[in-house]
Amino acid sequence: MAKSKLVQTNEKIAEKVTDAFEIIQNKVVGEYTKIEDAFVDRYLTREGETIEEAKARLKQEQAQTRK
């Protein structure tokens, strides 16, 4: 059974919208990560600590305060 042209067109539009959303989402998340890393590096790291280590330490401290 053949699909109508309207259904095919709607599927193409939906695919393009989804692809565009994924591109925008990846860009926004990537930029947020850069900003977060810069903030952690500038204000929250301790002497000799990497950004990843600082994030892990902060997450652990936050989990302990929630208990």
Q: What pLDDT digit, counting tens, does each position of 9-57 carry? A: 999 999 999 999 999 999 999 999 999 999 999 999 999 999 999 999 9
Boundaries of domain holding 38 = 28-67
Helix ranges (DSSP H) in 1-67: 5-39, 51-66
Asked, for residue 49, whether it belongs to a domain, the answer is: yes
Asked, for residue 59, whether it belongs to a domain, the answer is: yes
Asked, for residue 4, whether it belongs to a domain, the answer is: no
Asked, for residue 35, whether it belongs to a domain, the answer is: yes
Residue 41, SS3 per DSSP:
helix
pTM of the model: 0.72
What the block records as the tokens of 10 is: 């709607």
Q: What pLDDT digit, counting tens, does each position of 43-55 carry? A: 999 999 999 999 9
Total domain count, the chain = 1
Asked, for residue 64, whether it belongs to a domain, the answer is: yes
